[in-house]
Chain A
Amino acid sequence: QSALTQPASVSGSPGQSITISCTGTSSDVGSYNLVSWYQQHPGKAPKLMIYEGSKRPSGVSNRFSGSKSGNTASLTISGLQAEDEADYYCCSYAGSYVVFGGGTKLTVL
């Protein structure tokens, strides 16, 4: 199985919006509404930000939103803040296993 494809890096200025894509296949992202997104700051454990494509866990800012179209899922962060600078990973159920994306480093300029 192959990792989901994410851009290696994205950047934006405070207050702006950015979108991170996550491309899979018809066997994972395209087949199940089970894409989740994780935020990871250096030296810390990942934190769940979005699940089932577009749902936010309690306590996660509504500046974070998710969507899916076909085999591609997306994470959008609006009103960028300095604290959003981190690595972001997408993840999908794939029938008999789970696969992560390679990760995207978000830099807040």
Chain B
Amino acid sequence: QLQLQESGPGLVKPSETLSLTCTVSGGSISSSSYYWGWIRQPPGKGLEWIGSIYYSGSTYYNPSLKSRVTISVDTSKNQFSLKLSSVTAADTAVYYCARHVATYYDILTGYYRLGPLDYWGQGTLVTVSS
């Protein structure tokens, strides 16, 4: 059974960089059928997709966060990571990692189209505060 587990600091100071890692077990992150994504949810609010990465390093990012986000993958450790720079209180949220099904390969863009998020981690609360 595939499992995803988020890890990282639960408290980050304003203007600093939030760093989280997702460890995948029960399956290979190098599968050609999936991207691996980050989603967040501020307290009491809805879900926001942050970005997703393929095992090759190809990425999709939320345009509204793109200037501050870096997602990377370490296939040797079966992990992928999120870095969000210059954080403010508005970045306080539960951060989830999830498996993103790669569907149709779009020859024009060179990217797979992203399907459903079928496996999720339990989420980790990150609070931005001094």
Q: With an 8 A cutoff between CB atoms, is A48 at the interface? A: yes
Q: When chains A and B are docked, how far (Å) is the Cα of A89 from the Cα of B48?
A: 11
| Contact call A98/B122, Cβ cutoff below 8 A | no
Query: Contact: A97 with B113, CB < 8 Å?
Result: no
Q: A45-B122, A46-B47 are in contact. Are A51 and B63 (CB under 8 A)?
A: no
Main secondary structure of the interface of B (DSSP, over half): strand
Complex: how many Å from CA A103 to CA B39? 14
Q: How many residues of B contact A (CB 8 A)?
A: 28
Which residue of the partner chain A has the closest CB to B106?
A95
Give Cα A109 to B48, complex, Å: 29
Contacts of B111 in A (CB 8 A): 96
- Inter-chain contact B60/A96, CB cutoff 8 Å: yes
Evaluate whether A36 and B113 lie within 8 angstroms (CB atoms) in the complex, with A45-B122, A97-B61, A97-B62 already known.
no
Docked-complex contact A51 and B62, CB < 8 angstroms: no
Q: A102 within 8 Å of B by Cβ?
A: yes
Spell out B's residues near A (CB within 8 Å): 37, 39, 46-49, 52, 60-64, 96, 100-101, 103, 109, 111, 113-118, 120-123
